[in-house]
Chains A and B, each alone.
Chain A
Amino acid sequence: MIPPSDFEGAMLKFVRTRAVASLISLVGLLVMVFFLSRLTGDPAALFLPVEASAEMKEQFRELHGLNDPLLVQFSRYVGDVVTGDFGESLRKARPALDVVLEAFTWTLWLAVITMTLVAGAAIVVGSLAAFRAGGFFDRLASVVSLIGASVPDFWIAIVAIVVFSVNLAWLPTSGTGSLLHWILPIAVLFIRPFGIIVQVVRGSMIGALSSAYVKTARAKGVRSGPIIFVHALRNAMLPVVTVLGDQAASLLNGAVIVETIFGFPGVGKLMIDSILQRDFNVVLAAILVTALAIFAMNLLIDLAYALLDPRIRH
């Protein structure tokens, strides 16, 4: 006999192993970022404007300890990162981390709201499509989701601005300030993940609905609603959670195009601006912050797996 299920103990152990695995990846990323900025060329050339003189570069190297042995540089870099010191933003004259966190908060909200809407809508639409696979609603959902998954977002964004902001003048074109400013970015970001996830939900639900345990539920006299949303859905959620995570990660990375078009001050736009302006401290901070966010999200996905499926806990 297997010992009785100790839910909390099993979960705790599960989370611990996953967290350790994430930590290892994070250390790997730290090392990579360090070498990217030190070994791909002369950091002084990277950080300073193109027209900087040789003396300025030497001064820069001296100031930032770039003439020290690599190992010394690395340990100093790790120390800085651990204490949250990414240096100053060259353009904004503020700590780079503050600049990044401010932008990241915007992106985080954008991603959380969008993905919540996507998950809710796609699960309902995909489940209903799967329940009557081949029926009218299923075919309609397939066409809509295919369009959603394939149309490029810059095009939707531009068309949306033309229609809703310019012609109808219902919504502002860009910037932030009111709730109305959120509608277009969210609507545009919604479309692609919605299209993809409807299809994943549908496929996974068709499998679950034809499973033996659904047959049992029907033999028990369970109504269609609970059969779809209680019996089948929870079993069908594992692949859905994976893809949801993927899509959320790409939003957290910064929805570069959409943020740029709508002038939304998120981390994607910040990264593009900082690269163009050679504000390298900000770029490095942004990479690490988004990476941390994605690690955190992977942990959440693993947790969701374990919550959904008791077999994973053991």
Chain B
Amino acid sequence: MADHLLEVRNLSVEFHTAVGVVKAVRNISYHLDRGETLAILGESGSGKSVSSSAIMNLIDMPPGRISSGEILLDGVDLLTMSAHERRRINGRRVAMIFQDPLSHLNPVYTVGWQIREALTTHGTDAAKAASEALRLLTRVGIPDPENALNKYPHEFSGGQRQRVMIAMALALRPDLLIADEPTTALDVTVQAEVLALLEELQQETGMAILIITHDLGVVAEVADRVVVMEKGVLVETGTVREVYKNPQHPYTKKLISAAPGKGDMHAPAARVEPVLSVHDVRKRYGSFEALKGISFDLMPGETMAVVGESGSGKSTLARILLRLDEPDSGRALWKGRDLFTMSPAELYKLRRDLQMVFQDPTQSLNPRMTVYQLISEAWVIHPDILPRAKWRERVAELLVQVGLGPEHMGRYPHQFSGGQRQRIAIARALALEPQLIICDEAVSALDVSVQAQVIALLDALRKEMGIAFIFIAHDLPVVRDFADHVMVMQKGDVVELGTVRDVFETPRQDYTRALLAAGLDPDPDVQAAHRAARLRRAS
């Protein structure tokens, strides 16, 4: 079996922490051939990134320890090599790109310097490195590459930064490229471009790609084979189609069934008196027009999804509706009264009706408050809602409502998983009995299976309590499952506004069509058809 490019055999990695030994990866084995793409699929905590860190010698030891196994590159065990030999392999034979290219590029050096360093570290002379850096930046499609060499990472967009990372990783034509969630932080259209670039480069160089992802769509788009991991254990492996069409392990089945975008779409009820009526809202920051006249109506108990790529103005809109930022002009009538002209005192009362759930529950929950304090704080601020004697009882009720239990009351946020923390944030929003909740990417940071549960929870609350939602998201399948109406935004403008069925099935605008086409379907056959259609359009 020495003909595999990479073979991981019985690898176990553990971390010695203050609370004991964490077995991050247990006895996993997989292999990868030249020109092949293997995906490691898993949710957070599955250990999907650990084996690749072991390949790159990026595990800090201690606290990490490789307790068993071998990692064979062309038949030679990396784990028995000296640090010096391992360093010679990194960047030259095996290279890596990461999820967040902004933090993974050194902020204080130009991208040209960083690409040249990848070459000179392994002995390329400076003049050759300079010409190669230019060639590489040109190849990955950075506009005006000569000037771009002298720019710093913060001067590029997210997609361009990932292209720079790719240029740097491929500088020495490695045999294996490890891509750890390479497109997770990117907009869908940019994600499609970056994945296409990776595939092109793979065909040019014949390299193998090991892609680590939580996204079934990414697997369907780029991978030949897939390894599914759960809690450090490899639960299933096979070709992408085998695993998708005929999953064997219950965890794989659960992952596939949790993938959003397959359920029935909502059929919105007849439009009645809107609870919120937004009219021609505009906002500028200096010469930048963030919102160019946004208008829409929201009915009680209805979900309006706002979708668009970064810079489309969707978060600005949310901030303005909550009066966290002031609009330049426009009206937002909340039950007939303009939010934008309310005095601070009126606004204070209104905060009860309007609540917000943020993207990152780790940051939006004060780490030094217990769950009870976090949820009951709302009643300290608005004492008329509930007498103090009933607080405990009500907090318990709310926790049950969001799928947690009364026993969680005395715990702190760090004792919960990401999904549970988001439930706490939702319980906190519910404490004030709001009529509108604005969710700003509220499920984006969650694992797929957890995401499905949180969406189901929000939808149940909508039905039972008649809460209206403004649901800001970039993930279209999630929107498809949850929204009644969809508003597509681009560069501060509303491009398209309609029922979820209209927007998803008969989009009228090119931009909407492009967004939908760029989305990745978890079904490899559907995705293959998408790809064929895309190629036809391109040629």
Contacts and interface: CB of A to CB of B under 8 A. Distances in A.
Interface of A: 1-2, 4-5, 211-213, 215-223, 226, 231, 234-235, 308-311, 314
Interface stretch (B90-98, B290-298, B351-359, B509-517): B90-98
20 contacts: A2-B155, A4-B151, A5-B150, A5-B152, A216-B104, A216-B106, A216-B165, A216-B168, A217-B117, A218-B56, A219-B90, A220-B91, A220-B95, A220-B168, A221-B87, A221-B90, A222-B121, A223-B121, A226-B117, A310-B107
A212 B104 contact: yes
A222 B117 CA distance: 8
B105 A221 contact: no
Contact of A213 (B95, B104, B118, B150): B104
B335 interface: no
A5 B151 contact: yes
Given A311-B152, A311-B154, A218 B104 contact: no
Nearest to A309: B108
Contacts of B92: 221
Contacts of B103: 211-213
B535 interface: no
Contacts of A216: 96, 98, 104-106, 165, 168
A215 B58 contact: yes
B218 to A, nearest CB: 21
Contact-residue size bin, chain B (C-beta under 8 Å from the other chain): 20 to 34
A4 B111 CA distance: 13
A212 B150 CA distance: 21
A222 B169 CA distance: 13
B147 interface: yes
B84 to A, nearest CB: 9
B121 A219 contact: no
B234 to A, nearest CB: 23
A235 B100 contact: no
A280 to B, nearest CB: 48
B108 A220 contact: no
A189 to B, nearest CB: 31
Nearest to A308: B108
Nearest to B93: A221
A221 B88 contact: yes
A217 B106 contact: yes
A218 B155 CA distance: 24
B122 interface: yes
Contacts of A2: 155
Contact of A219 (B95, B107, B150): B95
Contacts, number: 81
Nearest to B157: A1
B350 interface: no
B158 to A, nearest CB: 13
A9 to B, nearest CB: 14
B57 interface: yes
B304 to A, nearest CB: 32
Given A218-B56, A220-B168, A4 B105 contact: no
A215 B100 CA distance: 12
A276 B395 CA distance: 69
A213 B107 contact: yes
Contacts of A309: 107-108
Nearest to A211: B103
Contacts of B122: 221
Contacts of A310: 107-108, 152, 154
A226 B114 CA distance: 12
A218 B150 contact: no
A212 B100 contact: yes
Contacts of A212: 98, 100, 103-104
Closest 9 CB pairs of A and B: A221-B91, A221-B90, A212-B103, A220-B91, A213-B106, A219-B96, A310-B152, A212-B104, A216-B104
A216 B109 CA distance: 13
B106 A220 contact: no
Given A211-B103, A221-B90, A311-B152, A235 B121 contact: no
Contacts of B118: 220
Nearest to B160: A1
B89 interface: yes
Contacts of B143: 1
B303 to A, nearest CB: 36
Contacts of A311: 107, 152, 154
Contact of B121 (A1, A4, A215, A221): A221
A103 B534 CA distance: 78
Contacts of A234: 108-109
Interface in B160-182: 165, 168-169
B146 to A, nearest CB: 10
B105 A220 contact: no
B104 A215 contact: yes
B91 A219 contact: yes
A213 to B, nearest CB: 4
B203 to A, nearest CB: 23
A218 B100 contact: no
Nearest to A310: B152
Contacts of A231: 106
Interface in B100-150: 100, 103-109, 117-118, 121-122, 143, 147, 150
B167 to A, nearest CB: 12
A92 B483 CA distance: 86
Nearest to B143: A1
B105 A213 contact: yes
A69 B445 CA distance: 69
Contacts of B169: 219
A151 B367 CA distance: 38
B58 A219 contact: yes
A215 B122 CA distance: 17
